[in-house]
Structure 1
Amino acid sequence: MTAAPSGPAFSVHDIPFSTRGSWFGISPVVAEKTYAEDLHLVSHQNGMHAVLRFVPLDMATGDRTATKPHATPSLLSWTGAEGHIALAYETPDTVRLRGDGLGLHIGAAATTLTPFSGTYFYREPGTGAYVFTSYETGRRYRVTVLSGTVTEALGTQTLGSAARGVTIGAEAGAVWEVAVEEYETARRPHASSAPFDQVVDTARHAFDAFADSVAPWRTSETPAAELAAYVLWSASVRPLGFVTRPAVLMSKHWMDKVWSWDHCFNALALAPGSPALALDQFSLPFDHQDETGALPDSVTHSEILFNFVKPPIHGWALRHLRRRLPEPLCEAELTEVYDRLARWTDFWLTLRRAPGSALAHYQHGNDSGWDNATTFDPERVIVSADLSAFLVLQLRELAELAHELGLPDDTRKWTRTADATQAAILDELWTGDRFVARAADSGATWTSSSLLDLMPIVLGEHLPESIGDALAGRIEAHLTAYGLATELPTSPHYLDDGYWRGPIWAPSTVLIEDGLRRAGHDRLADEISARFRALCETSGFAENFDALTGAGLRDRAYTWTASSYLLLAEAHEFRRAETAEAVGG
């Protein structure tokens, strides 16, 4: 008997089935926007690669049989008319499968083996296990039969094009069970750690503990909190390759990297309940900081990209992170984060300010995180108010850190630079009713209908009241029934699935909601929070959302979306509790 599933049910077409620490998941998504008929073991070592295909079979005929997948955080199952198959993680690199009434074919997803690509397949002498070796991942995948029988093995030691795989079954009324492991060159024979039901129970308890730590405040008012926790849990990986710490990837679909601003939102969501993991998320891109102080654009298992950067929201994030951590950073931790943040800030102030310019510039929309926003339509190398606003917040956080570390000269330096930068933003880019962008070379200025132009609201309490009011009014014009459109829906450049030219995104929502609240615009901040939370509760945790229909777009299991929901839901619950206490008191 298979253990009863527990936790929020979800579709594996949207969210991969995986576990904390694993570099693979079980999903029909085998490439960007590509869905296979069958569930696959999809690894994220050396990129995203579908390695193994799982095909449920009618044991009487050996033919493919129709099944319906069902997933909860601890158990994935296929159910058909003749029986069912269940899968659970025994460890981050090993899954156990058990079948009752159905057989299963485990086959190589790649059908062609060349000297440089594909999957080789052989039977392991001495153990009777079957091993797939993948050129794409550089790893091995071993299938060990724990009970039942191998009814067919195809393509062992075959070269070239061929079907490769093993079929598992059992006698009528009996169950079969196998273990599938991902490993490197060699490993001792698999030894079961526990009965299958105990494996499921262990996985369930581990996830429940994580959800309780990340969202202990969840109630019926925040119905998506547990699933949001699972999105973070399932996208986590152990340190491997260039990933120097336990990390939360943006997704275990095709967005399987850590980008150098996405990580901030995951760090904030994890901070109160999982502080060590939160600090790892904040620190990971800084582990790869180059000699100029620049952070990489992204980091993943086998790749670090430096061809772009991401916006310096790290001072803003650190300010909130320190307030959310249950214990203050020790002096050594403060010193390290101060040195790293100072180098990152100096990169912008020295290498991204043209001679004689008080304000830094982006070299491409990708540097802003808003890759194709209409702000960048006239030119790409631009001075924009959002960048300088983030730097002001970062400079003020550096001043605070320097003060805490007993560095008065640094405190004065950072404060002076923050004041001068903020004055330059208002003097050079504020027209009296809005901010403009400026070409870094020619000095030409323009406006757009992008929400990015309104991002200086992140300055919050540091803004003159009249400017905060003007920005709030323009922000409200971007608010649809579902949230903040990144391009005005009335704009001729608006696109339903236009990436940063229309859809609703989590990071812009959180940054603007926070800035509005700190600027005293609580009503609008409350409305933005409520609409985004409702959007996630209806449409899940997609990379972004259609601003006019609320439909999820692109990658459907995106961790910064889940983290943003957790941040907004937690704050909502705390405000609700405070209101109830005030009324009751």
Structure 2
Amino acid sequence: MHSRLTRLIIAVGLLAFGTGSIAQTGVPDARFLDVLDMHGMPASPTDRSFNIFFDAGAWHGYSLPPAGDDDTGFAGPFVHSLGDGRWVGQRFARVLLREAGTHQDIMMMPTESHAAPGYLVRRFSSPSVSVDQILFFANSSQAVARIELKATRALDINVTIAGQVMPDEANGLAARGEAVAQTFAHSPSILSTALHGDGVIARRVTVAGAAYRIDLNRPLHLEPHQTAVLYVDQVLVYDPHTGTSQALDDATAWMRNRERWAGYLASIAKSHLAGLPDDVAQRVAVKAIITLLGNWRAARGDLHHDGVIPSYSNPDFNGFWAWDSWKHAAALALFAPDLARDQMRAMFDYQTADGMVPDCIYLDKANDNWRDTKPPLATWATLAIYRATGDKAFLAEMYDRLVRYHRWWFGARDHDHNGLAEYGSTDGTAIAAKWESGMDNAVRFDTVIMLKNGEGAWSMNQESVDLNAYLYKEKIDLATIAKAIGKSTDARQWLKEAAAMREAIQTRMYDRQYGYFFDARLGRDDRVRVYGSEGWAPLWASIASPEEAARVVSVMLDPHKFATYMPFPTLAQDDPHFSPITGYWRGPVWLDQAYFGVEALRRYGYAKQADDMARRLVLNAIGLTAQAPMYENYDPLTGQGYQSANFSWAAASYLLLLR
């Protein structure tokens, strides 16, 4: 059952986009128009310099043409499942109108162009007819351009829907009956374009070079103020040999799209941060939702469940990563729980018999990375889904998998069998071990040596504090899950193990002289004294004593270390290796670690300081409250975003931060 807010949003959406004209009735909740600038036109097939609209798990996306582009239609599509992704179309759903019996096209002027949650909209007008275009996704295969034509007088018009593919794609363009088909070299995928709607009985398809036209075989008659609705469907079938797409009724699909997005937007009512206006918090939350759903990709090829990629703006991120997935799932649970569950399943589809989960998986499993895994936050994410949904069946489904993954760490990554684990790799390389940490080039790993544990199992020669904090929290969370599904004996065992591990982490990794948690060298009482974000992981996991926490907090709030303009860099500002722009994990702010830092403060009673740091993370990130995308990381001294735009775990972290 929908909440009152959800029903209100749906009602407004249906009023605006029902049978009446879009131009007359406006759009639902204008607060959330253009939270991201979606204008752009590809200069090359691989151009990712602007934002792209994806939804519903689609592997193809579109943009609004640049400001000043007076032609109708949309830019695209960009097909993400072709290699690392490329633009195969330049213009989709261009509308050409000519009054019957004349030889001159009706000239239309653009009046509006917006990106809204779940759709793109463009509006045009002329003295005799207005045109409103909405582009939305009916499902993961089918994009729809909904076109409303409204005449000011009785009018018979010839209607043409035109499109343009990228020049290099012209050889794959052909007419197939009353539709246009586009095929691609070295791929079985097919993109088909068809027209139907009011007064559409027969169509004529023409292909010439890189252009195509779909013409109505007879004029469309409009009475004064009458609205006709046409639909242009663009359907991407990834592989016709393994699956097809069932076309839906477009009018029904549009209503379902509005209902689905109303459900998403209802969740933002809980977005709040002390001292931050709620409208700002909610706009950032909407941007986070749009970012996560823009990176949603449906099960295709060797990806057996839906999930969220790190960023469509980076060609290196065309797959699912493990610890990205755990963070995505925790945030998705707040507004899209079905997708959150599938995000978890997608990674565990590839769990080995001994419990390992791979670093990342792709459409083609030959590209999967088995050289390492990623930090163990899967149980935390599973519990987040349960707390958002109350779904005990999902806990029962995941429990044995989570247990095997947890036990794997101590079987394959505890070189000295002392109950504390190390990051490592399956191939013995230090680079893969650093990847396993997720903090690839962190200063604390500069001098690591690899040690063999067994066949296909190697460890660094240091126990990492964040890894063991995560594993400790996994034991606590596994106890919670075990109790929820009736495994009380298991729950008691997990708590017993957690108590022993907590003491070991405090003894081995807390440095009383420096008042901070550090990685520990194997075989001796020696710590890697690098002040990094990993040092507050024991507070996030509730390991530290109040006295230990107080000293760690004093380091976190030191403006020379971590209380920077945009707070919580991954390396202390006063470290000689601090490099916030090019350092990757040597100084930039990564939002997951910053979020853990805020939560660390909250868990030990530093609520005021947590609120202050959280506000700075929101307000000092350049463009976050305006139209800029969410970036992979940020400069702690200026708030400038760097690396990949439209980064999913930054979006996930902001969404969690605002709850």
TM-score (ref. length: structure 1): 0.79
Asked if 2 retains the 8 angstrom alpha-carbon contact of 1:215 and 1:226, the reply is no
SS class of match (2:645)? coil
Give the aligned residue type for 1:236.
Answer: W
1:243 maps onto 2:303 in alignment = yes
1:279 maps onto 2:333 in alignment = no
**Which residue in the other structure is 1:371 paired with?**
440
Give the aligned residue type for 2:279.
Answer: S
Give the aligned residue type for 1:242.
Answer: D
Structure 2: 5+ residue stretches without partners: 1-20, 39-48, 66-73, 97-103, 150-158, 223-227, 273-277, 425-432, 450-459
- After TM superposition, the structure 1 stretch with the greater mean CA deviation from structure 2, 415-424 or 396-405, is 396-405
Choose which of 522, 529, 538 in structure 1 pairs with 2:607: 522
1-side partners of 2:57 and 2:583: how far apart? Answer: 33
**Which residue in the other structure is 1:436 paired with?**
518
**Which residue in the other structure is 2:642 paired with?**
553
Choose which of 29, 37, 49 in structure 2 pairs with 1:11: 37
Cα shift readout 1:174-225 (whole Å, capped 9, x = no counterpart): 9986332111338999978346xx8655533431222214655574252322
2-side partners of 1:440 and 1:168: how far apart? Answer: 70
Structure 1: 5+ residue stretches without partners: 30-37, 113-118, 156-163, 571-585
1:87 maps onto 2:135 in alignment = yes
Distance change in 2, residues 1:51/1:466 (3 Å): same
2-side partners of 1:284 and 1:139: how far apart? Answer: 22
Distance change in 2, residues 1:144/1:554 (3 Å): same
**Which residue in the other structure is 2:494 paired with?**
414
Distance change in 2, residues 1:26/1:199 (3 Å): same
**Which residue in the other structure is 1:354 paired with?**
415
Distance change in 2, residues 1:527/1:109 (3 Å): farther
SS class of match (2:439)? coil
Q: CA deviation at 1:44?
A: 3.0
- After TM superposition, the structure 1 stretch with the greater mean CA deviation from structure 2, 519-528 or 128-137, is 128-137
**Which residue in the other structure is 1:448 paired with?**
530
- After TM superposition, the structure 1 stretch with the greater mean CA deviation from structure 2, 479-488 or 274-283, is 274-283
Distance change in 2, residues 1:413/1:91 (3 Å): closer
Give the aligned residue type for 1:281.
Answer: Q
Asked if 2 retains the 8 angstrom alpha-carbon contact of 1:248 and 1:266, the reply is yes
Distance change in 2, residues 1:54/1:84 (3 Å): farther
1-side partners of 2:536 and 2:390: how far apart? Answer: 34
1:498 maps onto 2:583 in alignment = yes
- After TM superposition, the structure 1 stretch with the greater mean CA deviation from structure 2, 558-567 or 340-349, is 558-567
Asked if 1 retains the 8 angstrom alpha-carbon contact of 2:235 and 2:245, the reply is no
**Which residue in the other structure is 1:193 paired with?**
249
Q: CA deviation at 1:397?
A: 2.2
Asked if 1 retains the 8 angstrom alpha-carbon contact of 2:142 and 2:247, the reply is no
**Which residue in the other structure is 1:48 paired with?**
84
Choose which of 382, 387, 392 in structure 1 pairs with 2:467: 387
1:143 maps onto 2:187 in alignment = no
1:153 maps onto 2:228 in alignment = no
Distance change in 2, residues 1:436/1:95 (3 Å): closer
Distance change in 2, residues 1:98/1:474 (3 Å): same
Give the aligned residue type for 2:78.
Answer: V
Asked if 2 retains the 8 angstrom alpha-carbon contact of 1:143 and 1:179, the reply is yes
Give the aligned residue type for 2:545.
Answer: P
Asked if 2 retains the 8 angstrom alpha-carbon contact of 1:5 and 1:74, the reply is no
Asked if 2 retains the 8 angstrom alpha-carbon contact of 1:23 and 1:92, the reply is yes
SS class of match (1:547)? coil
1:73 maps onto 2:117 in alignment = yes
1:507 maps onto 2:592 in alignment = yes
Asked if 2 retains the 8 angstrom alpha-carbon contact of 1:463 and 1:519, the reply is no
1:22 maps onto 2:58 in alignment = yes
2-side partners of 1:203 and 1:503: how far apart? Answer: 38
Give the aligned residue type for 1:542.
Answer: Y
2-side partners of 1:405 and 1:194: how far apart? Answer: 42
Distance change in 2, residues 1:238/1:356 (3 Å): closer
SS class of match (1:96)? strand
Instruction: Work out the percentage of aligned pairs sharing the same amino acid.
Output: 23
1-side partners of 2:248 and 2:337: how far apart? Answer: 33
**Which residue in the other structure is 1:234 paired with?**
294
Cα shift readout 1:467-523 (whole Å, capped 9, x = no counterpart): 111211222231222232122233332231432222222211222222221122222
1:473 maps onto 2:554 in alignment = yes
Q: CA deviation at 1:547?
A: 1.9
**Which residue in the other structure is 1:314 paired with?**
378
| RMSD after superposition | 3.9
2-side partners of 1:210 and 1:136: how far apart? Answer: 37
**Which residue in the other structure is 2:322 paired with?**
260
Cα shift readout 1:346-365 (whole Å, capped 9, x = no counterpart): 11111100134432111222
TM-score (ref. length: structure 2): 0.71
